[in-house]
Structure 1
Amino acid sequence: MEARFMLLSDVAAELNVSDSQVYHMVRSGELPAIKIGGRGQWRVERAKLEEYIERKYTETAAWVHENPLTERDAD
């Protein structure tokens, strides 16, 4: 069984980005997360990460639709 909550470093590995990029996504509110414990460690719920990924697919599809590939871009 997969853990419900993930460390930011685990999220970074899952998305193949840096830990600092994930921290920025969390602090900006782009990726929902919670702070827990006396030291305020960040955790991302696996379900929220999956929702984030789905949202990014939707946003990317909209961007591709609005910015069609031109012959110049194909090279």
Structure 2
Amino acid sequence: MKLFQIACAVAEHDRHSPTMTLLIDKLSSMKREELSELRFSQVPGDVVADVFAAKMKRREMRRKKWCCLL
């Protein structure tokens, strides 16, 4: 997947750039099945942690949004 390859390249050169933040956000919006197919062993651990932390935060925000509608 191109997005994942770009994230790997950006993580090597400028880990804390706004571009990396956008890439992490895009990756975190992917389904678990899609994420499980990616080779996270090629990415620094902090990037992997950020992707899954963003995924959990996104899920929590959806849960709160749904709760408010009830």
Which category describes the TM-score, using the shorter chain as reference length? 0.3 to 0.5
Q: Between Structure 1 and Structure 2, which shows a larger proportion of helix residues? A: 2
Q: Report which structure shows greater RCO (CA 8 Å, sep ≥6).
A: 2
Larger radius of gyration: 1
TM-score, structure 1 normalization? 0.37
Q: Which has the higher strand share?
A: 1
* TM-score normalised by the chain length of structure 2: 0.40
